[in-house]
């Protein structure tokens, strides 16, 4: 008597159910991330075009709850949804995808090794560090050159950084260097932005986990 077929069918149905839930949760978190992209605002001490928002938070939650690939999927989908209303010739969305993905992938990988609060904190913090490091080369060699090509002069950008430096950090010498501008402003800004999402996620993830996992 061959029992393999019924067992296999049952397992396939269970796998399909899990995948449907993962896709549903991914769609929901992507929509939340898309909405949060609208709730951005400028902050003191950095040029006005560096906007603070919490749109990385849903991607980090997805990375913890579903796995790092699903977190990256949320990062991709929310930015694809934002393309039609882009005010940066899609460059801002590319930057957001690069940085958000570099944040949630290592965080999710570490957390999924052993799903404990300690690993959640460790993973989130490592993700923040990785994203902050990636901010320098990605902006210097990918994002800012794209802005130059669509009409933003490098000198004008440096001037915006220098204006903020002169106002808040008169001791800071940027030496007319875009690399220094990114290092002294974008990198710490990215670190703070990521840290905010990391702290909020660690605080709210456990209460949300049963709902995201379908165990409510």
pLDDT of residue 102: 98
What's the whole-number mean pLDDT along residues 13-28? 82
What's the whole-number mean pLDDT along residues 35-56? 94
Q: Is the model's pLDDT at 8 over the cut of 80?
A: no
Among 1-10, 23-32, 181-190, the minimum mean pLDDT is found in 1-10
Least Cα distance to 139 among 161, 170, 162, 123 occurs for: 161
* E-assigned strand segments in the chain: 41-42, 51-52
pLDDT of residue 6: 59
pTM of the model: 0.90
114-142 per-position pLDDT tens digit: 999 999 999 999 999 999 999 999 999 99
* Cα-Cα-Cα-Cα dihedral sign, residues 105, 204, 187, 119: negative
pLDDT of residue 14: 59
What's the whole-number mean pLDDT along residues 188-215? 90
Which CATH number is 4-213's, of 3.40.50.300, 3.90.660.20, 1.20.120.1200, 1.10.1760.20?
A: 1.10.1760.20
Least Cα distance to 109 among 126, 93, 91 occurs for: 126
pLDDT of residue 48: 93
Distances (CA, A) of 191 to 38, 146, 200: 20, 23, 14
What's the whole-number mean pLDDT along residues 7-19? 65
CB contact at 8 A, 134 and 98: yes
pLDDT of residue 216: 44
Q: Give me the residue spans of the domains in the chain.
A: 4-213
Q: Is the model's pLDDT at 1 over the cut of 90?
A: no
CB contact at 8 A, 157 and 144: yes
Average pLDDT, the chain: 92
């Amino acid at each position: 008597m061959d029992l393999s077929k019924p067992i296999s069918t049952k397992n396939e149905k269970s796998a399909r159910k899990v995948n449907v839930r993962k896709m549903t949760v991914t769609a929901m978190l992507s929509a939340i991330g898309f909405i949060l992209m609208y709730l951005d605002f400028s902050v003191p001490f950095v040029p006005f075009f560096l906007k603070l928002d919490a749109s990385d938070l849903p991607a980090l939650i997805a990375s913890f709850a579903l796995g790092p690939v699903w977190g990256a999927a949320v990062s991709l989908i929310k930015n694809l949804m934002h393309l039609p209303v882009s005010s940066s010739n899609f460059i801002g969305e590319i930057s957001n995808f690069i940085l958000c993905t570099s944040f949630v992938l290592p965080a999710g990988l570490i957390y999924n090794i052993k799903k404990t609060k300690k690993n959640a904190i460790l993973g989130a913090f490592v993700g923040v560090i990785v994203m902050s490091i990636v901010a320098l080369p990605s902006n210097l060699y990918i994002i800012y050159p794209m802005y130059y090509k669509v009409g933003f002069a490098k000198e004008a950008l440096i001037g915006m950084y220098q204006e903020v430096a002169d106002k808040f950090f008169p001791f800071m010498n940027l030496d007319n260097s875009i690399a220094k501008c990114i290092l002294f402003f974008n990198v710490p800004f990215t670190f703070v932005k990521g840290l905010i999402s990391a702290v909020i996620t660690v605080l709210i993830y456990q209460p949300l986990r049963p709902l995201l996992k379908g165990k409510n």
